Amino acid sequence: MKKKIRKIVEKPPASGFPIGSIGAPGGESDGVWHGTGDPTGNKSTEEVLAHVSEQHELLLSAAAEGIIGLDSRGCHTFVNPVAARMLGYNAEELLGKPSHSTWHHSKPDGSLYPREACPIYAACQDGKAHRSSTEVFWRKDGASFPVDYASTPIYKQGRLVGAAITFSNITGRKQAEEVMRERETHLEAILEAAADGILAVDNNGKVLRANQRFAEIWRIPESLMKRGDDRALLDFVQAQLSDPNSFLKTVQSLYTSDAGVMDTLSFKDGRFFERYSFPMIMDGIRIGRVWSFRDVTMRKSMESKLGEARLHAETVAAAKSEFLAEMSHELRSPLNGILGFSELLSCSPLDDEQKEYARTITDSGNHLLAVVNDILDFSSLEKGALTIHSAPLAIAGLVESSALAIRKAAAEKGIAFRCEVASGVPEQIAGDERRIRQILINLLGNAVKFTASGSVVLRIAAASAGGRPALDFSVEDTGPGISRESLGHLFKPFSQADPTTNRQFGGTGLGLAISKHLAEAMDGSLSVVSTPGQGSTFTFLLPLSSPVSSAPPTPVSEDPVPSTPGHHLVLVVEDDRASSRLAGKMLQNLGYRTEFAAHGAEAVEAFAPGKFFAVFMDMAMPVMDGLEATKKIRELESGPRVPIIALTANVMLGDRERCLAAGMDDFLSKPFKQEDLAAKLARFVQPSA
């Protein structure tokens, strides 16, 4: 090392680089080294220079950057190990040779620099410092790499003698920048392709980025977006909202919050946008917020229209229910007179022709009543207002009551009818007897109606459904059968297996649809198997639950009442003259005495404790309705409770419950039969001791 240093001292480079000053003309030293005095004591000048050169070389060799010295011609005077290693040369290959023809011979785009235009060489010519991160240096093997370099002129005694070049390989940084540019490009493409308006702000509310959709949503002029005036932008945005103060308050509160938010903004022009906001987090630190705006004007419009449609539908449904209730009342009252008096007429002395007339009246009235009941049931199903009641019921009684209405029609057509109950069927179950009977009567009635000859059989057997015990009610007939095409819509409302059958046999086409709904409401099912020309089998599968124990009836009187009704006085409160006369005649046939009131106020006036054995009360009457009259009668009572039984054409959902809530004890709908009156009164007659 000492030998090399001596050589440099004895014959210094032409540029004078080791002993010159860097950067400033006139000899001012503000570069690599400088000093005054003798740093080595009394040593000779030669020894001092050797020591300084050695220290100078050691410092430059230890630098992390590549360092190269150039003379005024652009030839190498010094190359540190880092520079030589990065360029792929050793120092001897570069010293004295021009930089322009070795590692800096072309532009970044690959074209050659003219020597005079070389930015590295420029510092040697113009005496100015240069810095760039857009150049490439070339290795000995022909490969290039990007650099961040600085070129600083070197002066000796005020004269420009060369330049010092410091550089570092920035390949990694350039690659990272390229990745970032690609990500930025992708992010920009994603933001601009987004259907939502997107805005990014820092913690102070300064706009960092906004896509074009954001500007379109808020209708922001391009000049305002480019201006970067955040206050003006916020004012412009606020001015378009129905409630600008609320918007500003929310924005300000979220600048310092890590919470997300979603709300809806209403614009003055009638548009609606959902606003989403969430914090931007980097390295666990909140650096701002991102806002997203989605146009929901159409959805809001649809919601508004749906709300209006729902309100309209509810209004129509309410009007429909009111109409059905009124029609039910208006139809049942005259039907009560028709069926009731035809029943009384049938019990009077008649010749055969007159009996046929009475029977025709009864059949026609029953048919009309069935139509009314079907329509009301279907209306309840449409509203989802059907209620299933569970109570203990005897299978034998259920079968007998269901078959009673069918036997006569089957006999008249010459059709064999029988019931078969298999072993294992329980004697008693819990269920809604009325609804089960309704399904069975509908299935049996259809079987008899559509079967011209042969037989109809009701079979009941024990089964299982979903792991639960069940009863299988099957109705088998030898009728015409049903085609495969017709089976698909058989259980749909207002459908018939054959559209012409409703003209031949009559019917609304609601019976099977209602029966299926009833079966499913009891967790059961209704299905059919049919072969054209051979008959059909309808199966009603009813899952069973444990029978509901029935509590003993609550006595209505402390004193036993003799079972003979002869001395009992019954009050009939009814504004319809035909219904009033009918009830009075039937009660007289049963042995009761009767008194009449045309409305609730007359009933209250006629009532006295202990006077009446029972009261049959209509619901809808002029002056005072039956509910109000019942409440007032209960207030007048001072002795045993008098049974009050609703006798009404009001049979819509909730009518029975309202009667019981008003203080009535039972409910009987119109039209009624004499046996219905007898059964209701029998509940309240105590057996003789």
Overall average pLDDT of the 421-437 stretch: 89
pLDDT score of 688: 44
Residue 456: strand pairing partners: 417, 477
Best mean pLDDT range from 193-197, 199-203, 283-287, 429-433: 429-433
Greater pLDDT, 2 or 500: 500
pLDDT beyond 50 at 17: no
pLDDT value, residue 86? 92
Mean pLDDT across 117-128? 81
Where does the pLDDT of residue 607 fall: very low under 50, low under 70, confident under 90, or very high at 90 and above? Answer: very high
Give the residue-averaged pLDDT of 168-172: 90
CATH annotation of 2-174: 3.30.450.20
**pLDDT tier, 43 (very low <50, low <70, confident <90, very high otherwise):** low
Consecutive H or E run containing 392: strand 391-394
What SS3 string covers 450-495? HCCCCEEEEEEEEEEECCEEEEEEEEEECCCCCCHHHHCCCCCCCC
- 454 pLDDT band, cuts 50/70/90, is very high
Mean pLDDT on 105-125: 71
Exposed e or buried b for every residue in 343-368, given b needs 16+ CB within 10 A?
bebeeeeeeeeeeeebeebbeebbee
Q: Give 565's pLDDT tier (boundaries 50, 70, 90).
A: low
What local confidence, expressed as pLDDT, does residue 182 receive? 84
**Which sequence spans correspond to the domains of the chain?**
2-174, 194-295, 391-543, 565-682
- What pLDDT is stored for residue 273 in this prediction? 84
Q: Which two structure tokens, joined as six digits, stand for 20?
A: 């010159």
Which of 19-33, 159-173, 175-189 comes out lowest in average pLDDT?
19-33
The closest of 680, 670, 616, 676 to 373, measured between CA atoms, is 670
237-260 mean pLDDT? 70
Average pLDDT over residues 72-98: 89
| pLDDT reading at 655 higher than 60 | yes
* pLDDT score for 337: 79
pLDDT over 80 (residue 59): no
**Mean pLDDT score of the chain, rounded to an integer?**
79
% of the chain exceeding 90 in pLDDT: 22
CA atoms of 277 and 519, how far apart (whole Å): 51
Domains 2-174 and 194-295 share a fold: yes
Which CATH superfamily, name and number, covers 194-295?
Answer: PAS domain (3.30.450.20)
Mean pLDDT of 319-345: 77
pLDDT of residue 559: 39
Listed as own residue / partner, the contacts of 267-276 with beta carbons closer than 8 Å and 24 or more positions apart are 267/240, 267/241, 267/242, 268/240, 268/241, 268/242, 269/240, 270/297, 271/295, 271/297, 272/296, 272/297, 272/299, 272/300, 273/197, 273/217, 273/297
> HSE (CB half, 13 Å, CA atoms) of 534?
4
pLDDT value of residue 52: 64
Which pLDDT value is given to residue 488? 73
- Residue whose structure tokens are 């308050």: 249
CATH superfamily ID and name for 391-543: Histidine kinase-like ATPase, C-terminal domain (3.30.565.10)
Mean pLDDT of 561-590: 82
Architecture of domain 565-682: 3-Layer(aba) Sandwich (3.40)
Peptide bond into 671 cis (omega under 30): yes
Q: What's the Rg (C-alpha) of the chain?
A: 53
